[in-house]
Amino acid sequence: MVKNNREFRIKFRGVRGSHPVCSKKHLEFGGNTACVEVMANNRLIILDGGTGIINLGSELVRNYISSGTDHQTRKPVEAVILSSHPHLDHIQGLPFFKPAYIKSSNIHIFGLRAKSRDFGQILSETIFSSIFPLELKEMSANISISNINETQVILLYPDRPEPELIRLSNEKEPDVPEGTVVISCMKSHAHPKDGVLVYKISCNGRSLVYSTDKEGYIGGDSKLTNFARNAALLIHDAQFTQEEYTSPVSPKQGYGHSTPEMAIEAAKLANAGQLVLFHHDPGYDDDALKQIEEKAKKALKSAIMAYEGLEIDLMKLKQ
Ligand SMILES: [Zn+2]
Ligand SMILES: [Zn+2]
């Protein structure tokens, strides 16, 4: 993606929920699991590490190699990775994220502490120690892993490479220099078993809210409505159609995912500028997703389906 100072753009790298899928009928929307690349004022932020992060990592390494002639002149990869929750479809790409194997890379990962275990411990035990040949600590990059909760915000200052994690005082927006990227989060319990973090990334007077793996409530979720109010862009879980959600044979209610109708309601209540439906069920092929999109657009003109490669420039969206 093109870099300039006042930038705020995203690219979808993986849009599936549950598990990756690969077939001719899934090519248009893509088969990789959750990952969204965000470029905000020259800072790379990655939402979730599903299999979509693998291609992103390869691209970052190619850019790294072409940025200089040796390790001393090359521009190190700097990335902040925000984890919504440690379910497999959101972390399974992390062991294959190539920048993590380059010594000069600086990778800061944030996630949810659960069941008295730090996020680093969860990540390490879930994927690295048990189903991958390397330990997390054996990766050669500088990797920091921190817990984050809704009383904290991450600040990415324009003149400082390290992110700063600060505690919010009275939930007031922090006073920061222009150009700073501010990342906050909201805990939702509407996803089994340990809940999920909804992230908000704000910069240049606009905000993006990433709300995946979150089931809607009847009448809307007032906590989300407040958190996402006036967001330029809302990315929202819409895994199951209404029919499947309430199917008499195999209802999906309680699985921790929303219907497009719930996502649309969330966008309307929050007055979001644009809605992207996300976390597609792997059982829905391109034709099924097109039909869902057509129906969603009738209910909300700004609703679109996420697909792999979709790029959105938030600086061009209304605030
Ligand atoms: Zn998921
Ligand atoms: Zn999940």
Integer Cα distance of 15 and 237 in angstroms: 10
| Closest to 109 (Cα-Cα) out of 71, 67, 141 | 141
Per-residue confidence (pLDDT) for residue 66, from 0 to 100: 97
Per-residue confidence (pLDDT) for residue 109, from 0 to 100: 98
Q: Which ligand is nearest to the CA of 112?
A: 2
Mean pLDDT of the chain: 95
Strand 35-40 versus strand 8-14 pairing type: antiparallel
Lowest-confidence pick of 7-16, 91-100, 128-137, 215-224: 128-137
Alpha-carbon dihedral 74, 63, 140, 14, rounded to 10 degrees: 160
With contact defined as beta carbons under 8 Å apart, do 17 and 34 qualify? yes
The reply to whether the predicted model has a pTM over 0.85 is yes
Q: Which ligand is nearest to the CA of 255?
A: 2
Per-residue confidence (pLDDT) for residue 2, from 0 to 100: 44
Show the beta-strand stretches assigned E in 212-307. Answer: 233-237, 274-278, 303-305
Ligand 1 centroid – CA 229 distance (Å) = 24
109-132 confidence digits (pLDDT tens): 999 999 899 999 999 998 888 889
With contact defined as beta carbons under 8 Å apart, do 308 and 11 qualify? no
Integer Cα distance of 182 and 206 in angstroms: 10
Ligand 2 centroid – CA 85 distance (Å) = 7
Ligand 1 centroid – CA 93 distance (Å) = 13
DSSP category for residue 116? T
Ligand 1 centroid – CA 279 distance (Å) = 7
Integer Cα distance of 64 and 105 in angstroms: 10
Ligand 1 centroid – CA 19 distance (Å) = 8
Per-residue confidence (pLDDT) for residue 128, from 0 to 100: 84
What's the distance, CA 272 to chain centroid?
A: 17
DSSP 62-81: HHHHHT-SSTTTS---EEEE
Q: What percentage of the chain carries pLDDT values higher than 70? A: 97
Ligand 1 centroid – CA 53 distance (Å) = 14
With contact defined as beta carbons under 8 Å apart, do 223 and 188 qualify? yes
Ligand 2 centroid – CA 146 distance (Å) = 20
Q: Which ligand is nearest to the CA of 188?
A: 2
Residue 262 has pLDDT above 90, yes or no: yes
Per-residue confidence (pLDDT) for residue 171, from 0 to 100: 63
Q: Rg for the chain (alpha carbons), in Å?
A: 19
CATH architecture, range 8-306? 4-Layer Sandwich (3.60)
Ligand 1 centroid – CA 89 distance (Å) = 5
Residue 4 has pLDDT above 60, yes or no: no
Q: Which ligand is nearest to the CA of 196?
A: 2
